[in-house]
Amino acid sequence: MKRFFEPSYTTWLHRANPALKLILFVALFVMTMFVHHIDASFYLACAFLLLLFVCSGYPLWKTALLTAGFALVFVSASLTMILFGKGAEIWWSFGPIHISKESFYRGLHLGFRSIAFGCQGLLFVLTSSSTGLFYALMQRLKLSPKYAYSFMASIRLLPMVGEELRIRREALAVRGAGGSSGLGGLLRLPERYALPLLAQSIRRAQRTAAAMEVKRFDAGRRRTYYYPSPVTANDAAALLLLAAAVAAAFLLARNLPVFGLGDMRMDP
């Protein structure tokens, strides 16, 4: 799995400071959330899909594999709104289902937007490492080391939880208590799985944390870091790249509209 998530080449986005990149992508998310025109959301989805293929640093087939799920996301984001959204110009109705012109295009707009969100999120995730992000947050945004090291340590504890879950499942099967189906078995799931896993993990977390406290992982901010996390020209390049993608999408939406519809909300 780790091999799979190793980029084969790096771009400006990989070399940019992860903390600043996080701010950039959160801003991008908020900006996308305030896009209410279907043309803009359509072109945003296209622009970031293109950027994802060019800049994620992964071979074409891998990126295609990762984006294949977006088809399902598109359907699930748009379907409820298409079938049950408010609208005046009814095209088709059956029982509680009313497909109107407004709800149909609003649903498509939500679908395009969710693809844009997905591409942005994937672009961030594929170009950053978790460790790099926390080192950058400590150094650039003054995140307290106790939070950063706790989050980083939790990643290391995860495989043990998975292993315990597997052992627990097999132990219950051996004792003939695992496969009870139906509502009764369902309701006993928390007691059978959550309780032993939580008890084990909390105890382990306490031991780990005690060791980390003794080793002064929670000491103050006057410290040095194993991985430096500087701000470089790559950050400016990443900013310009993302801004260019957004600007291109908005310009295309204005000059080359596909749908030519107004605000997608009922009463904006």
Which residues form the interface with other proteins (CB under 8 A)? 5, 25-26, 29-30, 33-34, 66, 69-70, 77, 80-81, 84-86, 96, 98, 103, 106, 110, 117-122, 124-126, 130, 146-147, 149-151, 153-155, 157-158, 161-162, 165, 186, 189-191, 193-195, 197-199, 201-206, 208-210, 212-213, 217-218, 264-266
- Using the minimum distance from each CB to other proteins, give the nearer residue, 118 or 139: 118
Distance, CA of 234 to CA of 136 (rounded, Å): 14
- Using the minimum distance from each CB to other proteins, give the nearer residue, 195 or 233: 195
Distance, CA of 165 to CA of 197 (rounded, Å): 7
- The size of the chain, in residues, is 268
- Using the minimum distance from each CB to other proteins, give the nearer residue, 173 or 251: 173
Minimum CB separation of residue 219 from other proteins in Å reads 10
Q: Which two tokens stand for residue 128?
A: 């950053």
- Using the minimum distance from each CB to other proteins, give the nearer residue, 183 or 256: 183
Distance, CA of 268 to CA of 256 (rounded, Å): 23
- Using the minimum distance from each CB to other proteins, give the nearer residue, 15 or 201: 201
- What one-character DSSP code corresponds to residue 24? H
Minimum CB separation of residue 257 from other proteins in Å reads 20
Distance, CA of 229 to CA of 233 (rounded, Å): 13
Distance, CA of 254 to CA of 260 (rounded, Å): 9
**What is the full DSSP assignment across 132-200?**
HHHHHHHHHS---HHHHHHHHHHHHHHHHHHHHHHHHHHHHHHTT-S---HHHHHHTHIIIIIHHHHHH
- Using the minimum distance from each CB to other proteins, give the nearer residue, 180 or 206: 206
Minimum CB separation of residue 145 from other proteins in Å reads 9
Minimum CB separation of residue 125 from other proteins in Å reads 5
Query: Which run of H or E residues covers position 141?
Result: none
Compute φ and ψ for 37, nearest 5 degrees. Answer: -110, 135
The C-alpha angle with vertex 51 and arms to 50 and 54, in degrees rounded to 5, equals 90
Minimum CB separation of residue 218 from other proteins in Å reads 4
Hey, is 99 helix, strand or coil? strand
The answer to whether the CB of 78 falls within 8 A of the CB of 111 is yes
Nearest Cα residue to 103 out of 265, 267, 268? 265
- Using the minimum distance from each CB to other proteins, give the nearer residue, 55 or 66: 66
Minimum CB separation of residue 255 from other proteins in Å reads 26
Minimum CB separation of residue 86 from other proteins in Å reads 5
